Amino acid sequence: MNIKQITLSDEFCYPCYPIIEDEFIYLGLRFTNKDSDINSVKSYQIRKINSKTEDIIWSINLSEDTVLCKPIIIESKIFFSTTSGLIAIDKLNGRQVWKYKAKIWDSHLSSIDDKIYLTNKNAIEVIDVSSGTRQKQKKYRIKWIDSPVVTKNSKLFISTSNSKILEIDKNSLEILTEYKYPGGWAIATTPEFYQNQILSNSYASYITSFDIDTGDIVWRIKKKVGSEPKQ
């Protein structure tokens, strides 16, 4: 395994949500003072860096904005979810193509059927890739969505803070099935699929597999309650 160290900046900063495509790295940089609170922000940038030469291809200043989740790449664009909205950037030159303005509290991004699925706190918003216009939105009676939107058998699935995985109709965004964990712990991992089962870890005391069709628990493995879930 080859390991390479890349110096991102002369100033103290935290690298956030890196994504790699070929030799290029796209990531957020949260600048702060070394002795400040770990969550403090002095400024925020998005950068594209050549990992071989360490050259900065482009850099974008976000002012008081921050990046909220791992970006996604669709063809010639890279999409960043920030506290003031979703932005589409031309990945070659760093120019903003469009911005979907919205107050975003917590977020995940997915690309499904040439559409962007943006989770925003307790809602799913479906965004057109070309124009940045919102095509659909649905809010759910949960505190927040705890995973990116994923798809299986032409249905959508999300994990939630309310001990449930939800199966959702792709067209209406209505809930079809609820897969319920015992207790009140957040799931905090993306659902995985094996044959006709949904597998998921959580902050609860079990790793659990559900039958997709019935919602019944097929098996579960005991774990330490409250421990950080790893998928």
Its domain, for residue 156, covers 143-231
Q: Please count the structural domains in the chain.
A: 1
In a domain, 186, yes or no: yes
pLDDT number for residue 38: 75
- Residue written as tokens 């094996």? 194
Calculate ∠ Cα 92-93-96, nearest 5°: 110
Is 152 among the domain residues? yes
In a domain, 120, yes or no: no
Q: CATH no. for residue 172?
A: 2.40.128.630
Please give the pLDDT value at position 164: 92
Is residue 208 within 8 A of residue 220, CB to CB? The reply is yes
What residues contact residue 134 under an 8 Å CB cut-off, 6+ apart?
100, 125, 126, 127, 128
Flag whether 166 is in a domain.
Answer: yes
Q: What is the pLDDT along the chain (231 residues), one digit of tens a residue?
A: 677 788 888 889 899 999 999 999 999 999 988 888 877 888 899 999 999 999 999 999 997 789 999 999 999 999 999 999 999 999 999 999 999 999 998 899 999 999 999 999 999 999 999 999 999 999 999 999 999 999 999 999 999 998 899 999 999 999 999 999 877 788 888 999 999 999 988 887 788 899 999 999 999 888 887 777 776
Reduced to 3 states, what is the DSSP secondary structure of residue 166? Answer: strand
Whether residue 61 is contained in a domain is answered as no
In a domain? residue 131? no
Specify if 169 maps to a domain.
yes
Q: Is position 75 within any domain?
A: no
Query: How many CA atoms within 13 Å lie on the side-chain side of 71?
Result: 28
